[in-house]
Amino acid sequence: MQDYRFSELFEAQKKHFQNHIKSSRPDARIVKLKKIRTWITTHVQDIRDAIYEDFRKPSVEVDLTDIRPVLMEIEHALAHIRSWMAPRYVSTPLLFFGTRSKVVYEPKGVCLILAPWNFPFMLSVGPLISAIAAGNCCILKPSEMTPQTSRLIARMIAELFDPNEVCVVEGDHVAAEALLKLPFHHIFFTGSPAIGKKVMHAAAEHLSSVTLELGGKNPVIVDETADIEDTVSKLLWGKFMNGGQSCMAPNYVYVHHTIYTAFCEALVAMYARMFGAANEPSPDVASLVSDRHYERIASLIRTTVAQGAKVLAGNHSDAARRYVAPTVLGNVTTDHAVMQDEIFGPILPLLEYTHRDEVIAYINTQERPLNLYIFSTDMTKADAIIAQTTAGSTCINETTLNFAHPDLPFGGVNTSGIGKAHGYYGFLAFSNERGILKQRRGLTTMKLVYPPYTERVKKIVKLVMKYL
């Protein structure tokens, strides 16, 4: 689709929004959400098949991390949309005597959703649920790196919506760049910080509001009180789910020196139970999405091992399948290649620490992460770590589960993201909170201080400054 067609599409949605969508009531939005829910529940196998074709993601993970979160998002919106849309009345200070004020939640308008490839269904349709719940029109661009899923989403939207309300644009970065030239009322982007900066720069041309769901190096701290067996199982799941291709995945693990050896032994034993022999491709691990990503991950392992890291598990690969076995590296230091950037693949580096302060100091020298994970049975210590660090979200004795919690905001801080998503927070992201003050006709206390500024007015202002 040429640039001028994008412009025509945007203008058509803008007109449709103003004439038909802007004042939509809860019932109308509920009908749309239910239509999406019905389509998903009747096409579960199609979704599984599409994502498997794109990067061999196991069907269990598709169900748990692509389909179920979207259905939960819909159910949560259906249960709360009326209360979210209801005006919120605010109190009236004495200075505003005679007024009545409220906040109303109106849709922003025509929104652009730029979705990534790693959770291609969830991170396309999830933000769309929030946008529809808030009453917007949308153009959705899925990732070209997962073409089967992209086509399936385009089919779903074409079957359910008038393109003047919601439509899908397929294409590569050229299409995305063309879309970003348009004056969208809100842009929701999920991807890397580097591309997020480009999106924000483009949005600045039109002062479009943005939600940027980015990523970063998510730290894990395992202190001396942690339940080792519980910790290793949760870490292996959180890290290697989706083949490690997740912005929420643990990026590196600091383990207290008093339990480091026992921790490594337990982790290797749990690894064998979860993924089997390291030299055989596991059917329970997704492939990497492209040859370029495969080469990057394979090279990162080779370089880090050459620098002195020890392979504790994994390190088998199959270029034809773009498969890299979940790989655990011990004896890692902060100078190693694997510690320089977000991994976004199936590598789990382990570092040993003695004093908590050294770990906190390192974390605070890095860009602020999307998630921070703490494993400890001492909540005083866990709370101390939280107090001394900053992250978009934090899990104690768990990994990644916060993403699916319908009542928690999800999003990063600075380079790991701007704005929040999911549930009520997603509704707010796509809404304009419009303050409305209503004054009784002819009545206002401000008339007491209108010009001319006589001595009487000055005395009144003095009283206001002192008492109000």
- 173/227 same-domain check: no
| pLDDT, the chain, mean | 96
Q: Which pLDDT belongs to residue 97?
A: 85
Handedness of CA 119, 120, 121, 127 (dihedral sign): positive
Per-residue pLDDT, 446? 85
- CA-based nearest residue to 185, from 213, 163, 164, 206: 206
Q: Which of 111, 137, 167, 247 is catalytic?
A: 247
Q: Is 453 part of a structural domain of the chain?
A: no
pLDDT digits (tens, 9 = 90+) for 432-452: 999 999 998 777 788 889 999
Residues 105 and 125 in one domain: yes
Phi, psi of 101 (to 5 degrees): -130, 150
Q: Report which of 355, 345, 299, 289 is spatially closest to residue 322, judged by C-alpha positions.
A: 289
CATH (domain of 376): 3.40.309.10
Task: Give me the catalytic one of 213, 264, 342, 352.
Answer: 213
* Domain co-membership, 234 together with 210: no
Give the model's pLDDT for residue 447: 86
Domain count, the chain: 2
Does 246 fall in a domain? yes
Looking at the structure, tell me whether residues 238 and 297 fall in a common domain: yes
CATH assignment at residue 148: 3.40.605.10
> In this structure, are 146 and 248 located in the same domain?
no
- Distance from C-alpha of 190 to C-alpha of 119, rounded to nearest angstrom: 10
CA 315 to chain centroid: 29
CA 175 vs. chain centroid, Å, equals 22
- The verdict on residue 236 lying in a domain is yes
Q: What is the pLDDT of residues 300-311, one digit of tens each?
A: 999 999 999 999
Reported as a single tens digit per residue, the pLDDT across 29-78 is: 999 999 999 999 999 999 999 999 999 999 999 999 999 999 999 999 99
Is the model's pLDDT at 278 over the cut of 70?
no
Tell me, yes or no, if 247 is annotated catalytic. yes
| pLDDT band at residue 98 under the 50/70/90 scheme | confident
3-class SS string, 390-424: CCCEEEECCCCHHHHCCCCCECCCHHHEECCECHH
Q: Cite the DSSP H helix spans in 17-161.
A: 26-42, 44-55, 59-62, 68-85, 122-133, 147-160
What's the rounded Cα separation, in Å, for the pair 370 and 232?
21
Average pLDDT over residues 414-439: 98
Amino acid at site 443: L
Q: How confident is the model at residue 424, as a pLDDT?
A: 98
C-beta atoms surrounding 401 within 10 Å: 13
Which residue range is the domain that position 101 belongs to? 3-214+418-432
Assess whether 35 and 169 both reside in one domain: yes
pLDDT tens digit sequence for 198-239 = 999 999 999 999 999 999 999 999 999 999 999 999 999 999
- If asked whether residues 199 and 270 sit together in one domain, one would say no
Cis, peptide link before residue 452, omega less than 30° from 0: yes
Does 177 qualify as catalytic in the annotation? no
Domain contains 322:
yes
Percent of the chain with pLDDT over 90: 94
Contact 253, 378 (CB under 8 A): no
